[in-house]
Structures are given as C-alpha cells and as structure tokens.
Structure 1
C-alpha cells in the first residue's frame, strides 16, 4: 500500500483550497432524512450540494484549479469539455476570475445545461456525440492554441477543491460514521476521502467512505479488482453526470488507498431514489446525485451508522425528469402499462374499464388500435396506462383481468 504522505493530494491541500473558496461557493445545508433513516435503521443526513452555485459541486474544483493559474495562463484562456455540471462550474469560475472560457459539449446535450453554460458567459462549441469526443476536441484545441485545459477530475487542484465538501460534512455532522457519494471519474470521491480519512485519524475513530456507481457505468469495481485502470467498452445510464468509462489516474491512486468500498445500483433503483427525494425530501436531484440514496434504499451498504449522503447535483433536464418519474413509478409498482387483444365489439372496453375500477385502480390513458401487422380482422389491440398502489396491487389487477378471460401483457 502506498504511504499516505505520497498520495497526490493531502489534507493540507484541501484546507488551502477551502481558503481560496471563501466567499465563492456556498456552504450547502445538511438535511436529516427521517424516512431514509427508518429504512436503514440509523440517522441519515443529506448534504445538499444540489443547491450549490451552478447546481453542483463542480464549481469547487474548477475555481481552485483556475484561481491558481498564472497571469500568462489566464491570458490564454481555458478550455473544458462536459455534458453539463463541469461545464457550468468552469463557466462560473471563469466569469468570477475574468478568464475567457471555451467549453465543448456533445451535440445531444440537454438544452437547459447548454443554456445555463452560455448564460454564465462561456463560449460553447457543440462537438461529437458523447463526452469522450468532446473531450478529445477540447484537448486538441488546448494543444493548438495554448489555452489551459481544465480536466473534470484528473487534476490535483480539482480533487482538492472537491475535497472541501468533506471538511464541511465533518463540521456539520461531527459524529458521522459513513460518507456516501456518487463516483464517475473519481474527483469528488478522492477529494472527500482525502479530507475525511485524515480527520478520522486525528479524531482516533474510523469513518467509512463509500462510492456508488450506476451498474451500467461502473469502471471502478473492475479497476480496483485489477489494481489498474480498466476502461469500459460501453457506458449506458441515465446518470450522465457519472457516465465515465475510465477512471482518472490521480483519483484512482487515492481511491484505492483510502476508500472503503465502491458499490453499484441499477437504473430502476436510481429512478426510485429520485422519486423518494422528490416526494419525501422535497428536493430536485439529478440521477448522478441520487446514487448514494439509491444504495441506502436498496440495502447495499450495511450497518452504515450515522450516514451523510452527498447529493452532488441538481441539474436535470425536465424531459429526463419526466421519463425518470414514470420509470420510478413503474419500478415502485405505482404505474403499469398493459397491452391486450380483444374482440372488436361494443362493450369490450367498458368491461375492461369496469374490472380495473373494481380493482381500485385508475386508468390514465387508453390507446385503441384496429390495424397493424399482428392484429387480425375482428380484433383490436389496446394499451392501457394504469395508476396502481404497489406491486401487490398490480398483481391483483392482472389477476382480475385474467379471471374474466383477458390476457394482459405488461409492457411498462
């Protein structure tokens, strides 16, 4: 194991970063979640970094990185690549420091994130179909023009800036036992682990630090197992803020030494967590910011004790939020869409409606189709969206439909 003094970022670096950030970032609030605490059997606190300037923790690292540029480097400007949060963090920091910023974003970037980044004063160039392609173009531009490339996570100043979150958590929740957060490239996890583990040694008591990844974008578990960076062949998750196919070298060198575990959660678990945060905590959080809550709700993290969960960002496209809410309701058994064939005769649809109503469920939409490749003459295909009250209630509705001769197929 590497000696702690040899790690690329130290507690002293994080404390220096905090001095730079005074008056620049908000000390975001901590909210106790009694509902989540009841699920895990201990106190749970939510560190609301979704309420940070520019909507995420990213401004911390971006500002520290850019504040340390020389006069000559500032004159050349900065360049970055991001699908959203890092872009906005760099744009806010650049505006504050009076530095020209060019940011490459993928062609399919969410319009609210694009508008927000431009609104902070950065020049935005749309390039490529994913962040990796935008990143390559940003690096090419930096080499060609001399602009300073601001990496989203693989930089010591970035890591130190993100680590200031760990210092805040320890001050706001002095008896914390476990700190949980999402991880993509690893800058946040590495920075927080640096601060928390150093303070834990000073306090003479253990504090766990756990990272959480979306299971379809989880590069850290195989990399940690191999003790080497293992890139993913494919990344596919609604949590675009942590959709990173290859860990950063600097964060990885810290995480493998300091972090207790990196676990994964499913897309359905993510959707349920977002619904929970909306309904029970009254907080709008993006999928990447909700992975820690998802891990607790799924019981993946055992015996966490007093727990702090970092809600790392709240920049979610309303259209994605709409889709996630629907998926979350389906995953929780509160929404069901069924398709079935029936005779094209008067009263058939009314009979189905009666069965659903008598099952104490509510029809929210009906699609009625008489023509199509799989529809025979005299038949009709219907798809019905139904509001339900849980998985057992869904099964009751399906049983009652089948009892009267219908063959419903759940399609969503």
Structure 2
C-alpha cells in the first residue's frame, strides 16, 4: 500500500492561493462570554458555517477539482457524502463547470440533499439497511464511476483534500496574529479527518507550540482511538449520533498521516453536550450551527479541558441544518 503524501507548507499555501480566490474569508470572533464560562484567557471562534455552501468543505473540494485533467473535468466526477462534502463539491463543480454526481445515504438530512441538488449536482440515494451507510454509498459511487467513466473522488481520504482544507488553518493563524494572539489549543471536529488533517498541518508548520485536539462524537471517535494506538482503528457499529457529518467509523489514511505528523490528540463529546453547545452558540454568539458544527464548542464547554490562562481557537465547521431539526435540538438541550 502506498504511503499517503503529507502536504508540505508550500503545498498548502499553493492550495490556499487558489481556493482563497473563490471562498469566503470567514471571520474570527472573540467571545468574552465563553472566556468567562471556561476560565480561558481568550476564546476565538472561526465560523466556517458562514462559508459558501455552509461549511469548510468547499475549500478542499475546489482544490481537488483543480487537479483534474481536462478530460476528467469534461466527463465529471462522482463522490459519496452524507451532506456537507456533497454541497461543497457541488458548489465547487458549479463554479468550475464540472458535472458532479453525489451518492448520499437515504437517511442523510433532507436539507443537505436539497441544497446539493440546488447547486446543480445529480443526487443518487442509497438504502443501507443494517450495513454501515458509508460502505454502501461508497460501493455505489465506485459502480457509477466505472459505468459512466467518471473520476471517483473521496470526501476526505485524499492528500489534495487535506491540502485544500488547510486554508481554514492558515486563515485563522493570520487572523489571530492580527488580534495579537496565538492559539494554545485548537479544537477541530473530525469525521474522516480531511479538515483536521489540513488545519493541524497549518499549525504544525507555523505555530508548532499549539496543541490541536480532534473532537468526535462518542462511539465515532475513530481518529482519537487510532492516534492513541498509533494505527488506524475501525470503530464498532453503534447507535447514530446527532452529529450526522461526523459518523465515519475510521479516519482516512491521508488525514491520519497528517495528524500523526502534527501531534494531534483526541477528545469525544456526547449528544447532550452538542445540543447545549448549539443553544449557547445561538444565544451568546448569534450563530446557527448544525450538530456536527457545534461539536467543538461542546468540547470547549464540557470536554474537561484545563483552559485556565489559555488562548483557545474553536473551529465551528458547519451550519447546514433544517429549521425543524434545529428547533428540535434546541428544545431538547
């Protein structure tokens, strides 16, 4: 098996030079209420929920599509996703004029399915029954790629995806410096690991003293478990989390190589903490976050971290949630 390439600093900077031309410069928000609640010296939130297509995913998707040959771009691409990568890839494909097919589990949130189609992508649904949903969806994506001659893209296990997602970290480092700050701790959510792979490399190269923490839902903490054991581990099947975008059972090889090089450690949060974090994000930050996007805020508030005197960066990854689901989660908080 080929060892995944760990993107260099020059690599992630080249990716950001391209993606920054088409993505939003999401703000860096400082929160005094969260500072008081946690005992930290300063708390900053980077709301990637305000990015195009409602999450960070467009960064990696756009950079990955830019690596296609002219022939591949003309034929189009296919990928599987439960929602946010689907929307990011669809938006990137629309911007570049590249046809996109997305295979989604039938139980993916309807709001994410509709938004993906709204960006012009063809959506194919899969019914996974008792099998892992990503396993069934990825099988169907491979079949479509073979049948139709489309380039098969992985939502996170790709060194170019990792390089593209690093832009969120590069931005945050510059924004912190502009505010006279440097992060002691970065909280970054993990599904398959594409974002934390890129963000952790950005801090590894430019702020090596910063501790990056991989935040995952309980039962789906494959990255944290794998880091602790020094090898990729697959988590057993358990009941779903409300963090539908973070339910990968194991990290990708490319992200795992990146986070291993960057010295990341893991932390798991439960659904109750995520619901509380969604409510606090709305009340104190005026941010609408989906459960997956609020997982890092849950880790800040309920993760048992010693934050006294620390400067903390919380990457809020997405805000793609229907009004009905959002209100239901807040009611249960």
TM-score by length of 1: 0.75
Query: 1:84-163 to 2 correspondence within 5 Å?
Result: 84-129=83-128, 130-163=133-166
CA distance in 1, matches of 2:331, 2:93: 37
2:72 alignment counterpart: 73
Q: 1:307 aligns with which of 285, 306, 312?
A: 312
**Per-residue deviation, 1:301:** 2.2
Query: 1:176-191 to 2 correspondence within 5 Å?
Result: 176-191=183-198
2:38 alignment counterpart: 40
2:169 alignment counterpart: 166
**Per-residue deviation, 1:326:** 2.0
**Per-residue deviation, 1:281:** 0.8
CA distance in 2, matches of 1:171, 1:25: 16
CA contact (8 A) 2:186 2:213 kept: yes
CA contact (8 A) 1:177 1:207 kept: yes
Query: 1:274-285 to 2 correspondence within 5 Å?
Result: 274-285=278-289
1:211 alignment counterpart: 214
CA distance in 2, matches of 1:302, 1:234: 31
CA distance in 1, matches of 2:219, 2:51: 27
Query: 1:310-389 to 2 correspondence within 5 Å?
Result: 310-328=315-333
Of structures 1 and 2, the larger Rg is shown by 1
CA distance in 1, matches of 2:290, 2:219: 17
CA contact (8 A) 1:263 1:300 kept: no
CA distance in 1, matches of 2:174, 2:319: 23
CA distance in 1, matches of 2:20, 2:226: 35
CA distance in 2, matches of 1:322, 1:39: 24
The runs of at least 4 consecutive aligned structure 1 residues that moved more than 4 Å come to none
Q: 1:271 aligns with which of 269, 275, 284?
A: 275
Deviations 1:295-322 (A, max 9, x none): 1111422237111101100001223212
CA distance in 1, matches of 2:5, 2:306: 28
1:337 alignment counterpart: none
Q: 2:13 aligns with which of 15, 18, 24?
A: 15
CA contact (8 A) 2:214 2:223 kept: no
2:292 alignment counterpart: 288
CA distance in 2, matches of 1:110, 1:178: 31
- Residue 19 of structure 1 aligns to a residue whose secondary structure is helix
TM-score by length of 2: 0.92
**Per-residue deviation, 1:11:** 1.2
Query: 1:218-257 to 2 correspondence within 5 Å?
Result: 218-235=221-238, 236-257=240-261
**Per-residue deviation, 1:258:** 1.2
**Per-residue deviation, 1:49:** 0.5
**Per-residue deviation, 1:114:** 1.3
CA distance in 2, matches of 1:153, 1:58: 9
CA distance in 1, matches of 2:20, 2:294: 27
Report the more deviating stretch, 169-178 or 79-88: 169-178
- Residue 45 of structure 2 aligns to a residue whose secondary structure is strand
CA distance in 1, matches of 2:197, 2:90: 23
**Per-residue deviation, 1:47:** 0.1
CA contact (8 A) 2:228 2:265 kept: no
**Per-residue deviation, 1:194:** 0.7
CA contact (8 A) 2:215 2:299 kept: yes
Q: CA RMSD in A?
A: 1.5
CA contact (8 A) 1:223 1:230 kept: yes
Unaligned runs of 5+ in 1: 1-5, 329-412
